Amino acid sequence: MPARKRCVTGIEGLDAALNGGIPEGNVVLLSGACGTGKTTLGIEYLTYGAARGENGVYFSVTEPYEKLLENMRAFSFFTENLIEENKLFIIDVSLLYNRLGLLGEDRTIEDIDTLLWALIDTVRALHIKRAVIDSITAICSRLAQPSKIRELVFNLSRMFTHFGVTTLLISELAGSAGRYSTYDVEEAVSDGIILQEDVERMGNMMRTIQIIKMRGTAHSRAKYVMDLSTEGALMVPLLKWGLSGE
Ligand SMILES: Nc1ncnc2c1ncn2[C@@H]1O[C@H](COP(=O)(O)OP(=O)(O)OP(=O)(O)O)[C@@H](O)[C@H]1O
Ligand SMILES: [Mg+2]
């Protein structure tokens, strides 16, 4: 069988840990507590692809467009020109809700279905190869019928995979160990899970990152330190960091 094509993330250390990148078309849950660097990693992933001919879209549910842009301008990897060149798209989901006439606080499954088709239409019309949804938790939290969350994530994953879009679903974790998603279903239907955590070490908070699962490839299961600098995210093996970082 031919090897599956890879989507190279461009995050230093992550592609090596994944044996070359995320298998193309996978839908991956990027889970972590607040401030662990999920958004930054997502935008760096999209920017890397967009600069190499793979159009990317970031669906923002939790942060308004201007604020997000302001935060990203601080990072050297962020190339704002890619937006003007129609290679990188940032879409404010609250505006999408308004455009679709979905104005109430709670959503029915029909509303979510409407949103799902709007996301799919966007991805097709813009020839998207990489997508980030930030966050799937925020979309699910407005769903009045929690039993439908599995269906939503399943349908979304299936359609994005069908169109060959390698997707990061950002999942906001509220802390309890051993869980990768708020509703406990997102992890079962996604092809991969990447976990970002805060670990205390000698009084300092340290960011870590670990690949929990990734369908379609062998991968490292080690915990890495994730260093966030103005240049972006960098994964360093935990042991190596311990030797040089103390
Ligand atoms: N220019 C920068 N250089 C290095 N680190 C930065 C820079 N700007 C922000 N950070 C760090 O990144 C963190 C936020 O990262 P990011 O927004 O990607 O995390 P997040 O997991 O998406 O957070 P949230 O849960 O709030 O959405 C900040 O708390 C800060 O520590
Ligand atoms: Mg964020």
Residue 223: the pLDDT is: 93
Ligand 2 centroid–CA 63 distance in Å is: 8
Protein residue whose Cα sits closest to atom 25 of ligand 1: 34
CA-62 nearest atom, ligand 1: 27
- Cα separations in angstroms, 223 against 29, 32, 176, 188, 203: 17, 14, 18, 21, 19
Residues with Cβ within 8 Å of 228's Cβ and at least 6 positions away in sequence, in order, are: 37, 40, 207, 234
Query: Residue 171: beta bridge partners?
Result: 31
Which ligand has its closest atom nearest to the C-alpha of 37? 1
Rg, C-alpha atoms of the chain: 17
Per-residue model confidence as pLDDT tens digits over 102-134: 877 777 778 888 889 999 999 999 999 999 999
CA-230 nearest atom, ligand 1: 3
Per-residue model confidence as pLDDT tens digits over 53-84: 999 999 999 899 999 999 999 999 999 999 99
Q: Is 38 in the pocket of ligand 1 (CB under 6 A)?
A: yes
Distance from chain centroid for Cα 42: 5
In the chain the domains, ranked by start, together with CATH numbers, are: 6-244 (3.40.50.300)
Per-residue model confidence as pLDDT tens digits over 174-199: 866 667 777 776 777 789 999 999 98
Q: Is 174 in the pocket of ligand 1 (CB under 6 A)?
A: no
Protein residue whose Cα sits closest to atom 15 of ligand 1: 37
Question: pLDDT grade, residue 12 (50/70/90)?
Answer: very high
